[in-house]
Amino acid sequence: MSTAHTHPGPVAEPVLVTGLGATTPLGGDVASTWEAMLAGRSGIGPIEEEWAAGLPVRIAGRLAVEPTEVMDRVQARRLDRCEQIALIAAREAWADAGTPGVDPERLAVVIGTGTGGALTMLGQDDVLERSGVRRVSPHTVPMLMANGPAAWVSIELGARGGAHTPVSACASGAEAIAMGLDLIRLGRADVVVAGGTEACVCALPLAGFAQARAHSTRNDEPALASRPFDVDRDGFVIGEGAAVVVLERAGFAAARAARAHAALAGAGVTSDAYHITAGHPEGQVRAMRRALASAGLSPLAVGHIHAHATSTPQGDLVEARSIAEAIGPHPAVTATKSMTGHLFGAAGAVGALSAILAVRDGAIPPTRNLDTLDPEVKLDVVAGGPRRGPLTAALANSFGFGGHNASLVFTSAP
């Protein structure tokens, strides 16, 4: 039997981040998104379509650049919006990594999502009810299935080492990156394209979150609505977008003289087994501690934390207390959902992107709309403007409905 593609077993090499890609409410690529984050700009605005007129919530973080402006329109018609933006982010990340010449059997894809093709499912259901079965698109199922983004990226890149889809609510993107780390450390891949995608700005989730009183209702001041850790926060703001990273085994990257943005040093994934929507601090603490143990770092080594911090009254407090217990009060903390809104399945990947760039550039984005820090938040939260200075390690948190917790640790590239 041939052993050409059997994996060699666990490896102890560092895992490097060699490619970055994104499309978000702040910009259609990494450079524009990062520039807007550092400037503290908001990507949140009013929803002006007629379908939102009667909703209690009429604001969202919409994409800064429409997918059809940067991809083939024929292909776009056959893809759900979440698949479109996953491909756009993956293409940028792959090009940024220098299009690695990797054995397809040693290339894997992991793209997480919270809802998958929600827009297709709801839209085609409307078509079925209104016009009958003959008007339903034959592309409906490939467009609505949650594994669609990972599948399309794997097809585009020719990845035959596995195409995986973590579906763990708001922790999906971070879990995808954690899984990419595992695949390389276990010797099953040399290169992994990992990240998260979400596009579900539509009436049903907005109505559901409004009924649950989880979404901000500041319809008249969208740019001020998402305010993590602020004493006047009143809920998150829904957003859409995608972010993707290319992870490589250090030896493979060195052999092709690849440049690295940072190293993915460790990851911790836990579950609360507690409540379907309320997070538990013990689970979050365990995730952060596992990430540090995986990275071989002490809490004092962490200089920066990208908080999950969605701007909900209780959720922000739970995370603040968890950070103080697991890491301590010393890291500089930021919450970029104040600018992008909450991108659900893509949130962890966008948070990872911010942490990677903070380590690479020595710059931490401010938390927008932080006028008065909640006195119960005993953390050093960056506000007003970016904080600059060298960073050797940053941690990014993602926590999702269902009790999913994921923490990622990034360090300077070796």
Q: Which residues are catalytic?
A: 170, 308, 342
Containing 343, the helix (H) or strand (E) segment is none
d(C-alpha 61, C-alpha 44), whole Å: 4
> Which residue, among 384, 389, 392, 388, has the nearest Cα to 411 in the 3D structure?
392
d(C-alpha 111, C-alpha 374), whole Å: 35
What are the backbone angles phi and psi of residue 321, rounded to the nearest 5°? -70, -35
Residue with tokens 């603490």: 285
d(C-alpha 390, C-alpha 89), whole Å: 28
d(C-alpha 397, C-alpha 407), whole Å: 5
Residue with tokens 């999502």: 113
**DSSP bridge partners of 405:** 270, 399
**Tokens (6 digits) for 361:** 């550039």
Q: Determine the distance from the C-alpha atom of residue 160 to the mean position of all C-alpha atoms in its chain, rounded to a whole number.
A: 24
Give the CA dihedral 235, 63, 408, 190, nearest 10 degrees.
160
**Tokens (6 digits) for 48:** 């002006």
User: Which residues lie closer than 8 Å to 221 by C-beta, 6 or more apart?
Assistant: none
d(C-alpha 380, C-alpha 305), whole Å: 10
d(C-alpha 399, C-alpha 389), whole Å: 28
* Strand pairing class (304-306; 241-249): unpaired
